[in-house]
Amino acid sequence: MRGSPLLMSVAGAALVLSACSSAADGTVAGDRIESPTPAQTTMNTSSPRDPALLPLVIAAGLPDCPDSDPGLAPLEPVGAMGGGLPDLTLACLGEGPDVTLSGLRGTPLIINVWASWCPPCIIEMPLLAEAARTYADDLIMLGIDMQDRSEAALDIAAALDLGFPSVVDQPGQVRAALTVPGPPVTFFVTADGRIAGRHDGRIPDQATMDELISDYLGISRP
């Protein structure tokens, strides 16, 4: 894993967060930080397909985003447990097609909402990358990079060698559509497109990830 000034600053912030006490719901107090101010979220005027981002896209080496069927109707109750993903079409952070979330059907799916400005997200990323490799034959891992700068997100993807794709939600539409108070949040979606479970906050370790995948998707570690 190559180092970068960005990751070094994130690591420093992460050390502060790691000292926070546990909250009543079992998550770590301070495990999420506030999203950027409006001025920060509008800094990036370039889309992920801006030619200026091509060197960063190549360096990140992200797989293509998965195919989806935009013609499929969302499953009710949209965004809730037992319901389906919202009818949102988001651009791929790297290469590949736009992704309509409600049209992702046929393969179990893990969706992780993250951002480069979120230290717990960065701590969690290697765990997600490991799960994506371990369960590659059984499920799809997809990130949603929320209210972020594509340049910063691609730098993180390259530095951590993520190995799974992400889509871009710069306006933060998933906040309301999936009731996301702040990243990271991870959703577990069955092959028929229904949300079987979610985990708010950072997933602490691989054993917990394995347990969540088994409980919500019925998939055992190979």
Q: 52 vs 7, which has greater pLDDT? A: 52
pLDDT-derived band of residue 11, with 50, 70 and 90 as boundaries?
very low
Backbone CA torsion sign across 130, 164, 115, 188: negative
Q: What percent of the chain is modeled with pLDDT above 90?
A: 73
Contact predicate 183/32, CB 8 Å: yes
Which has the closest alpha carbon to 74: 88, 56, 53?
88
Bridge partners (DSSP) listed for residue 140? 109
Is CATH 3.40.50.300 the classification given to domain 48-217? no
What average pLDDT does this structure show over 85-112? Answer: 96
Whether pLDDT at 41 is above 80? no
pLDDT for the residue 21: 28
Minimum mean pLDDT range among 28-32, 106-110, 158-162? 28-32
Mean pLDDT in the chain? 83
Q: For 15-28, what is each residue's pLDDT tens digit? A: 334 322 223 333 33
- Report whether 64 contacts 94 (CB < 8 A): yes
